[in-house]
């Protein structure tokens, strides 16, 4: 067990700033008891805007070797081999992004931390893959999880109780204004509990004994807690099960959603108890052979222990409701790296941006998030290219663009496809309704939310009319048309070339017109050729949006791609 009071969030040894600034992608590997997770984020060095870019997960299950709490476990040769295979897959994936070594950090939690042969594990990874793994303490783990949560929730000024249930341990922390006021790590994890206990009564008694004996409850009650936040794959799976109706219907209807807009990413004490009852009853009926019809995926063997553990924590600590964070340890590790790269990095500066990212992740799956992220990259490149022009555009829409306009454009890019969860037909209108009616964008005025919503509403189909912007100034209307045109062309490019996730894009202004150049990377010498329009489908859309672009900016835009991509 580990405990600390008044721990300030201080960064690790400095990383190579120059390399980090050159490449705005950062990655972290969370070597956990149940699974290994690779998190990649895009962060703008000039502003610190933070956006999840990609995510991989490998169910290594190091905790299978942890069969006793009385003595240090040994990581078996088979588990080390699985670990090396998983990390090698991560390494190959990262190579496609050409991520600088300084922008990658690997951290190991309780399974490695408690192992008797942790030195052998570290040496095997370094010798085989030339990767350095850092073993973090429970206190460090809690602190990094808090950092990750601050990138998901605007709770910098709130006193929050954080709970993260891992495979080998559960982390508790109380955080306020970027500082950890209290933290404790308990050796209670969903994998180790599943391995050690075969009946629920014994499991519950063990959990109660561990929590009561460590003084956790008394320490937490010393603080006036504003919010309780859960941050782990297990807690996210519990929230998803509650939302999907698993507590009400177990069977073929699990997963049917009638109104996604009402999802709030939280659950209460009664909903958790109902879920535990459903899980335990199903296990009893099936004699321990739990069939989840794919719902819990690789967590199906351990989800009951995780839910029972959280149920006991709710009861003993006196928790009525828990908010659920989409970000946790991996994002916290990257946040700490960014604190070294960005001078004066402010943990609370991006609350608006985080609410956009949160809304995007709430309604989009991994594939749609990646598509939206590519659109945001294209939009930013075109926007910055237009803003850098020395001479005003020869256009009726010439107007000075500023950072606020870029924020609206990137926000709309990330949210343009959230309505697809309800189907493709009219999804742009559904996306608009979610944005303007959901009250989910933190820190934006009503006027700003409407502007972002209208950009999303008109990213496809009809082009906006002046009536749609009633009440706006002449300059605001000009800006809106420019931003809308950039977003429409970005969506068209992304849909026409769906292999752009790790490509370099450059927007150029030449005498004959504008060019958007898409290449493999900056290091290689590429042969480029203009992509030939194809008949129908996405390229028909491309032709339509290129014409819109020409009408607004009075210049043609050509798409130029590396021959290997086309």
Residues 229/321, Cβ–Cβ less than 8 Å? no
Asked, for residue 3, whether it belongs to a domain, the answer is no
Q: Is 461 left (phi over 0), alpha (psi -120 to 50) or beta?
A: left
pLDDT reported for residue 65: 54
Task: Kindly report the CATH number assigned to the domain that includes residue 150.
Answer: 3.30.420.150
Residues 237/299, Cβ–Cβ less than 8 Å? yes
Residues 348/155, Cβ–Cβ less than 8 Å? no
Q: Based on the fold, state whether residues 275 and 398 are members of the same structural domain.
A: no
Q: Based on the fold, state whether residues 48 and 63 are members of the same structural domain.
A: yes
Asked, for residue 53, whether it belongs to a domain, the answer is yes
Asked, for residue 390, whether it belongs to a domain, the answer is yes
Q: Based on the fold, state whether residues 60 and 127 are members of the same structural domain.
A: yes
Q: Based on the fold, state whether residues 161 and 302 are members of the same structural domain.
A: yes
Q: Based on the fold, state whether residues 100 and 146 are members of the same structural domain.
A: no
Rounded distance, CA 519 to CA 505, Å?
Answer: 6
Q: Based on the fold, state whether residues 87 and 145 are members of the same structural domain.
A: no
Asked, for residue 2, whether it belongs to a domain, the answer is no
Q: Which residues of 156-172 are buried (b: 16+ CB within 10 A; e: fewer)?
A: beeebbbbbbbbbbbbb
Render 403-470 in DSSP notation, one character per residue. Answer: HHHHHHHHHHHHHTTGGGGG-STTHHHHHHHHHHHS---TT--HHHHHHHHHHHHTSSSSPP-GGGGT
Q: Based on the fold, state whether residues 174 and 215 are members of the same structural domain.
A: yes
Rounded distance, CA 22 to CA 504, Å?
Answer: 13
Asked, for residue 149, whether it belongs to a domain, the answer is yes
Q: Based on the fold, state whether residues 464 and 513 are members of the same structural domain.
A: yes
Rg (CA), the chain: 25
What are 151's two structure tokens? 């990138």
| Angstrom distances, CA of residue 382 to CA of 548, 555, 559 | 15, 14, 12
Domain boundary among 287, 306, 341: 341
Task: Kindly report the CATH number assigned to the domain that includes residue 53.
Answer: 3.30.420.40
pLDDT reported for residue 9: 44
Domain count, the chain: 3
Rounded distance, CA 250 to CA 292, Å?
Answer: 9
**Of 16, 528, 104, residue with least CA distance to 333:** 104
Q: Based on the fold, state whether residues 422 and 454 are members of the same structural domain.
A: yes
pLDDT reported for residue 52: 75
Task: Kindly report the CATH number assigned to the domain that includes residue 545.
Answer: 1.10.3210.10
Render 486-536 in DSSP notation, one character per residue. Answer: HHHHHHHHHHH----TT-EEEEEEETTEEEEEEES-SSS---EEEPPPPSS
Residues 488/454, Cβ–Cβ less than 8 Å? no
Query: Could you tell me the residue range of the domain that residue 479 belongs to?
Result: 351-562
pLDDT reported for residue 535: 40
Rounded distance, CA 373 to CA 379, Å?
Answer: 10
Q: Based on the fold, state whether residues 364 and 459 are members of the same structural domain.
A: yes
Residue ranges for the chain with pLDDT beneath 70? 1-23, 45-49, 63-72, 247-263, 282-300, 344, 348-350, 390-398, 466-467, 498-503, 520-538, 562-566
At 15 the three-state DSSP class reads coil
Asked, for residue 480, whether it belongs to a domain, the answer is yes
CB atoms closer than 10 angstroms to residue 330:
25
Q: Based on the fold, state whether residues 127 and 192 are members of the same structural domain.
A: no
Which DSSP state fits 261? G
Output the CA angle 87-361-134, nearest 5 degrees.
30
Residues 150/190, Cβ–Cβ less than 8 Å? no
**Can you say how many angstroms the Cα of residue 143 is from the centroid of all Cα atoms in its chain?**
18
Asked, for residue 158, whether it belongs to a domain, the answer is yes
Asked, for residue 346, whether it belongs to a domain, the answer is no
Domain boundary among 341, 370, 399: 341
Q: Based on the fold, state whether residues 456 and 472 are members of the same structural domain.
A: yes
Handedness of CA 85, 88, 92, 93 (dihedral sign): positive
Size (the chain), residues: 566
Domain boundary among 341, 373, 388: 341
Residues 507/381, Cβ–Cβ less than 8 Å? yes
């Amino acid at each position: 067990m580990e405990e600390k009071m008044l721990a300030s969030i201080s960064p690790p040894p400095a990383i190579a700033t120059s390399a980090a600034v050159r490449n705005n992608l950062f990655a972290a590997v969370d070597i956990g008891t149940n699974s290994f997770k690779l998190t990649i984020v895009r962060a703008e060095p000039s502003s610190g805007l933070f956006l999840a870019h990609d995510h991989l997960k490998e169910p290594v299950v190091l905790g299978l070797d942890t069969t006793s709490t009385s003595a240090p476990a040994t990581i078996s040769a088979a588990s080390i081999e699985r670990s090396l295979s998983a990390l090698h897959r991560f390494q190959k994936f990262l190579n496609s992004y050409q991520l600088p070594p300084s922008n990658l950090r690997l951290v190991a939690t309780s399974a490695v931390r408690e192992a008797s042969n942790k030195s052998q594990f570290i040496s095997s990874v370094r010798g085989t893959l030339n990767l350095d793994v850092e073993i973090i303490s429970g206190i460090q783990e809690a602190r990094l999880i808090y950092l990750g949560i601050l990138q998901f929730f605007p709770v910098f000024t709130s006193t929050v109780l954080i709970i993260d249930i891992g495979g080998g341990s559960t982390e508790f922390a109380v955080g306020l204004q970027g500082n950890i006021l209290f933290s404790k790590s308990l050796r209670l994890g969903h994998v180790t509990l599943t391995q050690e206990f075969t009946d629920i009564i014994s499991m519950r008694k063990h959990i109660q004994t561990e929590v009561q004996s460590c003084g956790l409850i008394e320490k937490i009650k010393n603080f006036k807690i504003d919010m309780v936040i859960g941050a782990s794959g297990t807690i996210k799976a519990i929230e998803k099960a509650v939302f999907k109706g698993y507590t009400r219907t177990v069977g073929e209807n699990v997963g049917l959603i009638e109104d996604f807009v009402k999802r709030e990413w939280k659950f209460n004490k009664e909903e958790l108890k109902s879920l535990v009852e459903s899980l335990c009853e199903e296990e009893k009926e099936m004699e321990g052979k739990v069939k989840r019809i794919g719902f819990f995926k690789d967590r199906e063997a351990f989800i009951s222990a995780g839910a029972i553990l959280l149920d006991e924590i709710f009861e003993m600590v006196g928790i009525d409701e828990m908010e659920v964070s989409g970000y946790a340890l991996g994002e916290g590790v990257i946040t700490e790296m960014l604190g070294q790269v960005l001078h004066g990095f402010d943990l609370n500066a991006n609350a608006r941006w985080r609410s956009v990212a949160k809304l995007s992740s709430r309604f989009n799956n991994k594939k749609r998030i990646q598509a939206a992220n590519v659109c945001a990259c294209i939009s930013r490149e075109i926007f910055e290219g237009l803003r850098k022009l020395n001479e005003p555009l020869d256009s009726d829409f010439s107007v000075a663009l500023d950072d606020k306009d870029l924020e609206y454009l990137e926000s709309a890019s990330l949210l343009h496809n959230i309505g697809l969860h309800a189907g493709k037909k009219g999804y742009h209108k559904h996306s608009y309704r979610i944005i303007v009616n959901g009250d989910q964008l933190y820190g934006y005025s009503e006027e700003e939310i409407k502007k972002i919503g209208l950009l999303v509403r008109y990213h496809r189909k009809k082009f906006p009319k002046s009536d749609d912007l009633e009440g706006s100034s002449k300059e605001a209307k000009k800006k809106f048309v420019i931003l809308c045109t950039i977003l429409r062309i970005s969506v068209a490019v992304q849909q026409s070339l769906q292999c752009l996730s790790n490509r370099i894009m450059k927007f150029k202004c030449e005498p004959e017109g504008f060019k958007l150049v898409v290449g493999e990377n900056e290091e290689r010498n590429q042969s480029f050729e203009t992509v030939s329009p194809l008949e129908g489908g996405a390229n028909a859309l491309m032709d339509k949006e290129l014409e819109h672009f020409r009408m607004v900016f009075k210049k043609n835009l050509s798409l130029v791609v590396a021959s290997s991509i086309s």
